[in-house]
């Protein structure tokens, strides 16, 4: 019995040592707060208003979980970089879903009997959790890119990811594309992107949304990752 307990303890310590530097506990607690706030609201209002926030939060977790999977594979098989491509591709495809929750403030309105201040706080909690998930996921990916090809390329990767995420937020909010449409309708999405990249000034909303959210995410990323560097993924 003692040996079994020791193995369980050792297993927990290994998981803790892996999850802690990658920010798992803060995002887990933040997610619990979001779900709790929504549950209280649903109970008091007897309605499922803002239920889409739960779905968006679930989608925001996908890139983070993919980044954890990529970090685990990189740690276990450091020379087999091809193994990293599938989880990285999925994580980057779903990455815009994490900061996308910020745009859900468009749905904010006075909805009695729930006070407006409560809905503001709830939406802020979901938006902050989405941003944090995005930042932690991107930091893990950047650490891996840095370990494989160097710091300069890792920052190029960050900037490209944030720019693509800004465009992804536009595609999701205004053109109603989803991440999984990249697999089912890639040509249609690429066409919409190409049209706006070819003549950005004739699509001011696409340009504005892309630049605004890319800049916002960059500021959040620099702010949340400042300080001592985390261990290499």
pTM of this structure: 0.91
Q: What's the confidence (pLDDT) of residue 175?
A: 92
Q: How many domains does the chain have?
A: 1
CB 125 within 8 A of CB 58: no
Q: Report the C-alpha gap between 177 and 171 in whole angstroms.
A: 6
pLDDT at 231: 54
pLDDT of residue 233: 56
Has residue 173 been placed in a domain? yes
Query: Residue 172: what pLDDT?
Result: 93
pLDDT at position 232: 55
Domain that holds residue 215: 2-224
Distances (CA, A) of 111 to 47, 48, 103, 104: 11, 12, 18, 15
- Tell me if 85 is assigned to some domain: yes
Please write the tens of the pLDDT for every residue from 91-117: 999 999 999 999 999 999 999 999 999
Residue 231 lies in a domain: no
Half-sphere exposure of 219 (CA within 13 A, CB side): 5
| pLDDT less than 50: residues of the chain | none
């Amino acid at each position: 019995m003692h040996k079994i307990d020791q193995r369980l303890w050792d297993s927990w310590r290994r998981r803790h040592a892996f999850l802690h530097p990658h920010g798992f506990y803060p995002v887990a607690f933040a997610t619990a707060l979001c779900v709790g706030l929504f549950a209280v609201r649903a109970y008091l209002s007897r309605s499922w208003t803002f239920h889409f926030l739960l779905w968006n939060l679930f989608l925001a977790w996908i890139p983070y979980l993919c980044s954890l999977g990529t970090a685990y594979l990189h740690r276990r098989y450091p020379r087999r970089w091809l193994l990293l491509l599938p989880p990285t591709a999925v994580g980057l495809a779903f990455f815009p879903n994490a900061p996308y929750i910020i745009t859900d403030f468009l749905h904010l309105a006075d909805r009695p009997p729930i006070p407006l201040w409560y809905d503001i706080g709830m939406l802020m909690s979901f938006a902050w959790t989405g941003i944090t998930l995005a930042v932690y996921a991107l930091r893990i990916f950047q650490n891996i890119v840095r370990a494989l090809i160097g710091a300069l390329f890792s920052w190029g990767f960050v900037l490209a990811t944030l720019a693509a995420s800004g465009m992804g937020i536009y595609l999701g909010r205004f053109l109603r594309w989803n991440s999984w449409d990249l697999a089912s309708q890639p040509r249609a999405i690429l066409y919409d992107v190409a049209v706006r990249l070819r003549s950005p000034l004739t699509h001011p909303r696409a340009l504005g949304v892309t630049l605004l959210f890319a800049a916002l995410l960059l500021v959040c990323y620099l702010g949340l990752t400042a300080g001592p560097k985390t261990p290499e993924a």
